Amino acid sequence: MKLSEDLLEIISCAILIFVSFVGNVCLFYSTRKCIAGRLQTSFLLIFSLVFVHLIKNFVVNVMKIVYSSGITLDSAGCKVLHFTAALTTSLAIWFTLHLALFYHLKLYQVVYPSDNAASLDQQKHSLKGISALWVAAVAVYVPVLIYTTKPEYLKAGNDTDALSTKRIYKDCLIIFRNKQVEFYYGKIFLMLIDILPLAILVFVCFWMSSLLSAKKKMTYGDIWIGDDDSEIEVLRGAKCSIVLTLLITLLWVSHSVLVYFWSSVAACVFLPAVLTALSSGFSALSPFLLMLVNYRVKLVSLCGAKEENSIPQATNTIFSPYA
């Protein structure tokens, strides 16, 4: 049974690495082509998400493949595995929240136009915010490297039946040396680090849904006028943010529930592969959703503006009398 469990986990990790690599490379390439001059907030967020996803797969999942192949990790290797897994998960949640707030603000400006245009300082503040998130995430999870250790009975290589199954989750456990640190930091603080942003994400998701509903009903003097391409990008970004919110929330909650009820479902041979799919599924699927935001947006949005400026307008173009 152990061999089948390890094989299933190796296959799931390999599939996730391949899908995530293809999706994130395509997302990075398509986004990089659109950059002209100053980096926009959405570009910075996308690049950050791409980097986080690639770290998740080429560090965490590769280490899982190595471990499932029969190579045992020492205490330092287990620390790096858990540190990187927790770090990338939290960063994915935080950057998704940042992206949702970004498109929420843009959508709010579309539904309720204001005379105050976005200043260039907003991009500078966003760059500082993204950098601060990276620094904060590393600072939050550094204690995992410092105050944890691999239990002695696992270092001794005990190969009992209870420890021989689900080896990556049993034989590579790490514990805090101090019980109080384990309770307040390991169980409460680290849980809130993910739960609070997810709760805010869900709230923003419902708020954006109401704004999208209001935008759909908007008219101008009882005449509906089609959206321009900049608004199309905002609308798609808002819808994509809602889907990403639902996806990352469902995956995180499902993974947490399975880990919490580990003893009740530990006998399932598919459990390690399922946990891997839940923990890395967002990094594999989200790039394809983000690429849909600017699919065939031609005029103003992202790199379309640069392309349109170089293309002569067709002679049969019909202009709106309300422009």
**pLDDT, tens digit, for every residue of 36-49?**
544 566 778 888 99
How long a stretch of residues is the chain? 323
Q: Is residue 276 in some structural domain?
A: yes
Rounded distance between C-alpha atoms, residue 208 and residue 103, angstroms: 9
Rounded distance between C-alpha atoms, residue 310 and residue 187, angstroms: 56
The predicted pLDDT at position 302 comes to 40
Q: Does residue 26 contact residue 130 with C-beta atoms inside 8 Å?
A: no
Q: Is residue 241 in some structural domain?
A: yes
Write the CATH number for 285.
1.20.1070.10
Phi and psi at residue 220, to the nearest 5°: -120, 100
Phi and psi at residue 176, to the nearest 5°: -85, 140
Q: Is residue 220 in some structural domain?
A: yes
The predicted pLDDT at position 229 comes to 63
* Eight-state DSSP code of residue 71: P
pLDDT tens digits for 162-191? 333 344 555 677 888 888 888 889 889 999
The predicted pLDDT at position 270 comes to 80
Q: Is residue 90 in some structural domain?
A: yes
Q: Is residue 321 in some structural domain?
A: no
* Eight-state DSSP code of residue 187: I
* Eight-state DSSP code of residue 44: H
The predicted pLDDT at position 299 comes to 33
Q: Is residue 13 in some structural domain?
A: yes
Count of domains in the chain?
A: 1
Q: What is the amino acid identity at position 139?
A: A
Rounded distance between C-alpha atoms, residue 10 and residue 276, angstroms: 10
pTM attached to this predicted model: 0.82
Question: 77 is in which domain, residue-wise?
Answer: 2-298
Rounded distance between C-alpha atoms, residue 157 and residue 282, angstroms: 34
Rounded distance between C-alpha atoms, residue 312 and residue 319, angstroms: 15
Q: Does residue 56 contact residue 137 with C-beta atoms inside 8 Å?
A: no
Rounded distance between C-alpha atoms, residue 64 and residue 71, angstroms: 10
Q: Is residue 30 in some structural domain?
A: yes
Which residues of the chain, if any, have pLDDT below 70? 1-3, 33-41, 115-125, 152-171, 218-229, 263-267, 294-323
Q: Is residue 316 in some structural domain?
A: no
